[in-house]
Amino acid sequence: MLVGEKSPATLNPLPPSAMASEHPDAPKQFGIRLSQDTMQLVSAIQEFRHRINQPTTLAAIVEDAIGVYYDRLLEDGAIKAKR
């Protein structure tokens, strides 16, 4: 391609793809489908984490939830601790 010549990709750009979060039935916050009850819990956790200056990403919230659930399974004797 010569200097100043336009790339074929810029001549006919593709339309933007639809995001999952743009689906009318999907909650807008993360672009994934979660029940309204779960979204309310996530929002409450986000507000708390924001107040204590902790990350409010979905990944951070999921990591916390997995840790809490893992601890509960240990306490209930449903699983054994990792060594």
According to DSSP H, which parts of the chain are helical? Answer: 8-11, 36-51, 58-76
Domain of residue 61 covers 56-83
Query: Is residue 2 one of the residues assigned to a domain?
Result: no
Token pair of 22 as six digits: 């743009």
Query: Is residue 65 one of the residues assigned to a domain?
Result: yes
Render pLDDT for 36-58 as a digit per residue (tens, 0 to 9).
888 888 888 888 998 999 988 88
Q: What is the pTM of this model?
A: 0.53
Render pLDDT for 66-83 as a digit per residue (tens, 0 to 9).
999 999 999 999 999 886
Displacement of CA 64 from its chain's centroid (Å): 13
Q: Computed over its alpha carbons, how large is the radius of gyration of the chain?
A: 22
Query: Is residue 80 one of the residues assigned to a domain?
Result: yes
Query: Is residue 74 one of the residues assigned to a domain?
Result: yes
Query: Is residue 75 one of the residues assigned to a domain?
Result: yes
Query: Is residue 7 one of the residues assigned to a domain?
Result: no
What is the tally of structural domains in the chain?
Answer: 1
Query: Is residue 10 one of the residues assigned to a domain?
Result: no
Asked whether the CA dihedral 56, 46, 40, 37 is positive or negative, the reply is: positive
